[in-house]
Chains A and B, each alone.
Chain A
Amino acid sequence: MNCATIEQLVLLRDSGEISEDQQQELTKHLNDCAACRELSGDLVSLRKTFMTEASRYPEPSWHTLTVIRKAAQRQHAPRSWMWAHSWPVALAAAASLALCLTTLRFSIMPRSIAPDTSDQGSLATEIIPLIAIITGQEPIQLTIEGDETELTVLANELLRLQDMAVEWPGDKMDSPTLPEDYQPTTLLWNNNHGPQFERCG
């Protein structure tokens, strides 16, 4: 075998794809060829150098990992099944949301219904679609109107109850505090994408 062929065998040994016969040929050749021995050694040294250097690369950001995990949960986690077998948790969620809704001002509209903030629904009417969000059942899309701070509280509460408790990403908010002149916002909730704010005006 010539050195060019042996070089390929060195590479195949390095990747664990060499056969026994090829290994024997390689060992025999390396005993007699200093140049191929040097190449074999250089390959090992290069690999070590690359591994050392790669270990100092940064890691994916916290936000990136969070987005991936949330998408994974939405796509395949059996949320409905899980909730069906844990009624105490569902009841606790309902109580938590009831508390949320009695202290905050919201107007919740199923999709395709025009927004009308003056038409406040009853507590029970408002809780039912929110529970549907948490359990992953229909309706999967809601429009909720209120002020920015209150909607942030509600969005975080929904996320927490979905076992996806994460800090609300700051870059999604135009401003962390309410402006002096009250500006209503709309929270669009879609079970596939999670919460999204829209500011009026």
Chain B
Amino acid sequence: MSSVGQIEAGEKRSSKLEISDEQLVGLYLKGDIKALDELIIRYKKPLYSFLWRLTASGTEVDEIFQETWLHVIRKASSFEQYRFKGWIFKIAYNLVIDWSRTKRGHLSLDKTSEYADGLQTLADTLPAPGQSPDAQAANGDLRKAIAQALASLPGEQKEVFVLRMDADMSFKDIAEIQGTSINTALARMQYALTKMRKLLSPLHEGSERPV
């Protein structure tokens, strides 16, 4: 079975669900490659969408995603972090920061994204099989609206918002990643939430609002 086939088969099995991320790192260091497969399965989606949101550029996401995991693999033996999740997102975050510095001519966390500029959007590049044209248009509008709203946030607020909403990270972990206090991370989220509520309110006006 091919490498990717093994990862995909692991997604169906998920026999290691009860094992913590940190235990999986330990198993991998002992030579259990399937332990790393399980970690990839767990973080593939949130990490990838996190990178999409922050870079807003499809060409570099795979590269940064790959470099994040290669860093994890290289440094796994010295992993002594309190939580794997915080560690891997911190690596990805730092790589995005590095990338944004070297690609100033293209995009950076503080700059308006391609979506907001009305250039080619991610929505334009993604097929949506099985959906009606109306549904596809609605999804494209949603994606564009979210991208535009995120692009309007200052970099640090945007990072907190994406780390919280996409990566489901705690404020303690976010503060650690940004090298700041929990109160600062909370304040950034408050500002971001206020703005996002205002910009995206038409999207969920009709939806149920649990207390």
Residues in A lying within 8 Å of B, measured CB to CB: 4, 7-8, 11-12, 14-17, 30, 37-50, 52-62, 64-73, 75-78, 81, 164-167
Contact = CB atoms under 8 A, between A and B. Distances in A.
Given A62-B4, A65-B40, A69-B37, A8 B48 contact: no
Contacts, number: 151
A17 B62 CA distance: 32
Contacts of A56: 126, 128, 139, 143
Contacts of B2: 66, 165-167
B186 A76 contact: no
Contact of A41 (B45, B169, B210): B210
Given A15-B171, A53-B142, A64-B62, A7 B190 contact: yes
B33 A54 contact: no
Interface residues of B, number: 58
Given A45-B204, A76-B31, 20 more contacts: A11-B189, A11-B193, A16-B170, A37-B211, A44-B210, A45-B209, A46-B196, A46-B197, A46-B200, A48-B207, A53-B143, A57-B45, A57-B52, A60-B44, A68-B40, A69-B6, A72-B69, A78-B30, A166-B3, A167-B2
Could you tell me the dominant secondary structure of chain A's interface residues? helix
Interface of B: 2-4, 6-7, 28-31, 33, 36-37, 40, 44-46, 48-49, 52, 58, 62, 65-66, 69-70, 73-74, 76-77, 122, 126, 128, 139, 142-143, 146, 164-166, 169-172, 186, 189-190, 193, 196-197, 200-201, 203-204, 207-211
16 contacts: A43-B193, A46-B197, A47-B165, A49-B142, A49-B203, A54-B46, A56-B139, A57-B122, A65-B3, A66-B3, A69-B7, A71-B69, A72-B33, A73-B33, A78-B31, A166-B2
Contacts of B77: 76
Contacts of B44: 59-60
Contact of A64 (B6, B66, B171): B66
A60 B36 contact: no
A58 B40 CA distance: 15
